[in-house]
Structure 1
Amino acid sequence: MTPQELTEAQQRLAAFAAEVFGSFGRADQRRWGERYVRGLLGEGRRKSMEPMAARLGVDRQGLQQFLADAPWSHQMVLAELAWRMEPAIRPAAWVIDDVSFPKDGHASPGVAAQYCGALGKTANCQVAPSVHLVTDAASCPVNWRLFLPEEWDPTRADEPEQAARRRLRAHIPDDARHVEKWQLAVDMVDELRCWGLDPPLVVADEGYGQDGAFRLALEERGIAYVVGARSDTAVLPEQAMRTTAPWSGTGRKPVPRYRERPTSVHGLVLAAGRGALHRVTWRPGSKGPLRSRFVALRVRPAGVRLRRAHPGEDLPVCWLLAEWPAGEKEPTKYWLSTLPADTPLRHLVRSAKIRWRVEHDYRELKTALGLGHFEGRTYQGFLRHLTLASVAQAFCTLERLRPSRPAAA
């Protein structure tokens, strides 16, 4: 990058920071916000407080005070970020996922022995769910939560007094309690909708999609989804009918019910057989077009929670999408979707596979923008750091979306 191009990029960053930090009541807070983001975008492998302050040539205590104690709302910054990025990205979907941060100690808010995606096993870590605006060409996280395990909630912990002491040290507010990850995801979606954004589609992996309560919450809000499912997810075929048993005239009058026993999605796809598979190419990849074999069936999810949510009613019909790669003895992945019945198979596949962009976001945030470098021990500081890293990543996204300069004549 030439000196002129660097100066122009710095000017664009200053304008972008002024926009997303516009809710700050004081000019000095807006300056500290821009400095922090510049520190995350700058050179250097470590993006924690002390090395960033040294590279920026600013007072470390001032940077620390801005992050930990200054009176500003990270939710307002995320709202400004969402309003700025939604028209820039024009998302095809909102993708829900979570990222983990391995930790050595036990003082960081939310840290516990839990599944750590970064390590692929149970380990001592923090977990933060997020919502991303996504297309195949661009993406950006615009909302975050910190998952608090039960041991951080005095109303749920085996040792409530210890949980209360840990919360006090981490400055965790009273209204932040243990909430299942799927509910945190729904809360983030609701918050984004309160900010005036409208989800075109929600996409999530089986960690969220497997929970019938999560799918029901989206359906109740009229939000279409494509979510991962486990192979043992219970379903009925679309043509399954409710029937009423004969009534003897005594006792409770029978109600219509499904006489057919639910089967697993794995069994249903195996019954459909390889003859139902179609080869689909969904996007270009770094080593050529990405393609595999898929089958899409119309089914009625029939888990206990869903049956209880629809007593005396027909279970809703949705798509079951399964991937069965060539050379595999059985299907490898499954999704459920409420996209319309006339949705083309290729669109179903592209929607299910669009989660790949979130992996790009996490990789850039962690390797280049210091997402996991926060060394503080406070709940608010942690969420503010995630927010400011998202601002930095959003600026990178906007720079990638800028039209190339015309070639010289």
Structure 2
Amino acid sequence: MSGAALHRGTGRPRPMAAAPAAPEPLLAELGAELFASLPRSDQRRRGEAYLRGLLTARGRKSIRNIAALSGGPAAEQSLHHFVSSSTWDWEPVRRALAAYTARVAPPQAWVVRPMLIPKAGENSVGVERRFCPLRGQVINAQQAVGVWAASDEVAVPVNWRLFLSDAWLEDPLRRRQASIPESVRAETLGECAVEAYVGMMRGWGLPVRPVVVDAREADALAALHRLRAAGVPVLARVGGSLRLEPAEPTLPGRGGAVLPAHQIMGAARDLRRPVLWREHDERRGVRTALTAAVRVGVPGRRTAPGGPVRRRDMLLLGLGDATGPWPGELWLTDLLNVPPAALVRLSRLMGRVRRDFTEVADEVGIRDFAGRSFGGWHRHTTLASAAHAVRVLTRERAGADEEAECLGQAS
């Protein structure tokens, strides 16, 4: 395809024109904090060069394309080593990125979102045959989970966890070839999503905010129990087949029956109320949703072997519109005293993340790493997350400056 490549996983053309120039003031400001943990000055210089390349290289953000901006083959070799086989630890860099983001763009919630990375070959760490919903077919792909600091205006990825199956972790040859650390152990996709959040909250000094997560494809109840045990408020999108116990006296099934979530919410149709909210996308403006919220019991863990299962009350939120099927979406939360309108706004942060992923993260190469190693994948993804932060925070500052200028002219 002349002049364009395809966005991986979307089938849409990817422009090959040069990216905008790197926003130098914010790049310098963030880079000083990001690379403070790197022990050598040459590593810091390469980190800055790689970050600038992600922002300005044409097309796919391969190491070759990035190196073409700063010195050709020699630069390519040094950047390849810096990302794929160097010893610098990506976790302090992510911690610095998360702290910077939380300070300059305070999140309303932490959004946990999966990321599928289509691959042509089978040797990149974690690649397996996986179903791609956008393509409607099974493809070779890596599976990862990201944690995003999200608000109405901006979303920034601050932590990542690569999902690795037993086929990778129990094969000594594949582990060795991909340099997978011995500390990496098997987990379910739901456990991967939970640990992506819980892991970054250990010692990073980040503010506690609600976690918004799509748990339709994970073990939703196990994920909810782990997040609640960590002491964090949760708003989780769940599937209609999730079985819960109605706790409202006006609903059928009260008194111990366990029913599918869609059946409980279907019975709450008469409880629907309109909620208004304003989309960040100005083209969509003010939107209306019909909501209904009912208390439900969520089966917990047994207090003792053979003992009763402790029930935990949560709120089941249904979302829809006047013309579509009811419910269109189902969300489960332990934010029992938060108004439905506020819960709707929190749930819409998933859309903010989705838009910023498509419009920014993919454009700065979040899925472009072509190497095979575990460490290389994490280093590239960390630096691409920083490039994403530079781009969206520059956009936000430009918008704030424009608004201030308009207010000054009006006065």
SS of corresponding position for 2:312? coil
* Counterpart position of 1:401: 396
* Counterpart position of 2:277: 282
Distance 1:329 1:126 in 2: 34
Match of 1:88 among 95, 100, 104: 104
Are 2:153 and 1:137 aligned? Answer: yes
Q: Describe the superposition over 1:95-136 as per-residue Cα deviations: whole angstroms up to 9, x where unpaired.
A: 001111111211000000123355344321001101011101
1:262 Cα offset (Å): 0.8
SS of corresponding position for 2:68? helix
Tell me: CA distance 1:319–1:150, structure 2 relative to 1, closer, same or farther (3 Å): same
Contact 2:57–2:65 (8 Å) recurs in 1: no
Q: How does 1:155-170 map to 2 (within 5 A)?
A: 163-170=171-178
Q: Describe the superposition over 1:7-57 as per-residue Cα deviations: whole angstroms up to 9, x where unpaired.
A: 9x3243123212111000011100100000000000411210111111233
* Counterpart position of 2:289: 292
SS of corresponding position for 2:47? helix
Counterpart code for 2:263: G
* Counterpart position of 1:375: 370
Tell me the TM-score normalised to structure 1 length. 0.85
Gaps of 5+ in 2: 1-19
Match of 2:308 among 306, 312, 323: 312
1:313 Cα offset (Å): 6.1
* Counterpart position of 1:187: 195
Contact 1:237–1:299 (8 Å) recurs in 2: yes
SS of corresponding position for 2:52? helix
RMSD: 2.3
Are 2:147 and 1:147 aligned? Answer: no
Contact 2:248–2:294 (8 Å) recurs in 1: no
Tell me: CA distance 1:207–1:269, structure 2 relative to 1, closer, same or farther (3 Å): closer
1:186 Cα offset (Å): 2.4
Tell me: CA distance 1:333–1:64, structure 2 relative to 1, closer, same or farther (3 Å): same
Distance 1:35 1:117 in 2: 35
* Counterpart position of 1:321: 317
1:356 Cα offset (Å): 0.9
Tell me the TM-score normalised to structure 2 length. 0.85
Whichever of the two has the greater Rg, that structure is 1
Distance 1:392 1:213 in 2: 34
Distance 1:27 1:213 in 2: 45
Distance 1:344 1:82 in 2: 29
Tell me: CA distance 1:209–1:367, structure 2 relative to 1, closer, same or farther (3 Å): closer
Distance 1:20 1:153 in 2: 31
Gaps of 5+ in 1: 155-162, 241-257
1:291 Cα offset (Å): 2.0
SS of corresponding position for 2:240? coil
* Counterpart position of 1:202: 211
Counterpart code for 1:297: V
Tell me: CA distance 1:239–1:349, structure 2 relative to 1, closer, same or farther (3 Å): same
Match of 1:330 among 297, 310, 326: 326
Contact 2:124–2:178 (8 Å) recurs in 1: yes
Match of 2:35 among 14, 17, 21: 21
Q: How does 1:69-80 map to 2 (within 5 A)?
A: 69-80=85-96
